[in-house]
Structure 1
Amino acid sequence: MIIIEENPKGETYEKLIDLAFELCDEFHLVVRRDLGSTRQLEPILKELESSLKEMVVTNEWTGTLLGGGQKARVYYYSADEHARKIVKERADSLYEWMQPNLPEDLSFLKKGKPWLVNIAHEEESYIMSESEYWIKRIRDIEGLKIAFEEDEI
């Protein structure tokens, strides 16, 4: 596991997003009613609508498990060029993907498995990759502060 130690911002954020869109086939965004009004999230959800694969009401998504019977709407999107443009334009850092301004926890999946996991409120994110090629590409992102941690079994 590759831990992202500092919020990727600006050009570093853009390069990380470009890499995620290059490698992954989908991403998700989360909308939680327990965090207040979701009205201001409607414009971005509408913008991304053509890339929407499905929306699921659940208490669990990449990196998060809600307790107390709480549920959220998890929107799964195709990692296509249309969505890439919007994700890069709407935020300037990974941890901006947080309500009330944006949907929560922008995270990327490759063939249904987590690749970039983002828990914005906790300012926690990590990348699940064992491929030497992709690890080198991650290391090549200027300004990205990372550390390596062995997966616990």
Structure 2
Amino acid sequence: MNTILQDPTGQAYKTLIQVAMEVCDEFILVKRDQMELESEGYELLERLKPFLKEIVKDDYWPGTRLMGHYADVYFFRCSPDAVDILLSYSTSLYSWVQTRVPDDLCFLRQGQPWLINTAHERESHIVTDVEEELNRLEESGLLFRDLSVFYP
């Protein structure tokens, strides 16, 4: 597991979303029951409807377990057409926080987490050992495998 240490923004964020859409088959967004969602969040969910696979009422999604509360976990099919929609509602990974937009954009590959994002905690992890993916993420500044750059 590789931890993202800071909030990806700009080109690094765009690259992350593009890579995730290419290598994963679905992504999730979460609407918590105990919190309001602003009109912008509902508008986003409406624009993503063509990619919607299912909505599951649950108290768990990658990186989060609720205690005594539930949320609607929206599962969407990954598609290049969804990239621009996501990027038009968020400029960074940790901005996926309800009430403005749904929580915790995460990506799954064959039902297993690839990008685990707990936005309100500002914590995320990428789960992959595919060298090509790791290289693309490293080149974009999202991932550091050679920590000697920090320890001369």
Q: TM-score, normalised by structure 1?
A: 0.89
Determine helix, strand or coil for the equivalent of 2:34. helix
Of the two structures, which has the highest relative contact order with CA contacts closer than 8 Å and spacing of 6 or more?
Answer: 1
Give unmatched runs, 5+ long, in structure 1.
149-153
Query: Relative to 1, partners in 2 of residues 1:147 and 1:126: Cα closer, same or farther, differing over 3 Å?
Result: farther
Structure 1 residue aligned with 2:73? 74
Distance of 2:57 and 2:81 partners within structure 1: 24
Give unmatched runs, 5+ long, in structure 2.
147-152
Q: Deviations over 1:37-84 (max 9, x none)?
A: 2242211110101100000000001111111x2100000000112211
Once the 2 structures are TM-superposed, how far is the Cα of residue 128 of structure 1 from its aligned partner?
0.2
Distance of 1:46 and 1:146 partners within structure 2: 36
Q: How many residues align?
A: 145
Structure 2 residue aligned with 1:44? 44
Structure 1 residue aligned with 2:150? none
Once the 2 structures are TM-superposed, how far is the Cα of residue 144 of structure 1 from its aligned partner?
2.1
Structure 2 residue aligned with 1:98? 97
* Coordinate RMSD, CA, aligned: 1.4
Distance of 1:23 and 1:88 partners within structure 2: 17
Asked whether 1:120 is paired with 2:119, we answer yes
Give yes or no for contact 2:55–2:72 (8 Å, CA) kept in 1. yes
Q: Identity of aligned pairs, percent? A: 39
How do 1:1-153 and structure 2 match up within 5 A? 1-35=1-35, 37-40=36-39, 41-67=41-67, 69-141=68-140, 143-144=141-142, 146=144
Query: Relative to 1, partners in 2 of residues 1:130 and 1:2: Cα closer, same or farther, differing over 3 Å?
Result: same
Q: TM-score, normalised by structure 2?
A: 0.90
Structure 2 residue aligned with 1:151? none
Distance of 1:146 and 1:101 partners within structure 2: 31
Q: One-letter code of the match for 1:38?
A: L
Give yes or no for contact 1:3–1:147 (8 Å, CA) kept in 2. no
Once the 2 structures are TM-superposed, how far is the Cα of residue 135 of structure 1 from its aligned partner?
1.4
Greater shift, 125-134 or 1-10, is seen at 125-134
Give yes or no for contact 1:5–1:146 (8 Å, CA) kept in 2. no
Q: One-letter code of the match for 1:57?
A: K
Give yes or no for contact 1:51–1:82 (8 Å, CA) kept in 2. no
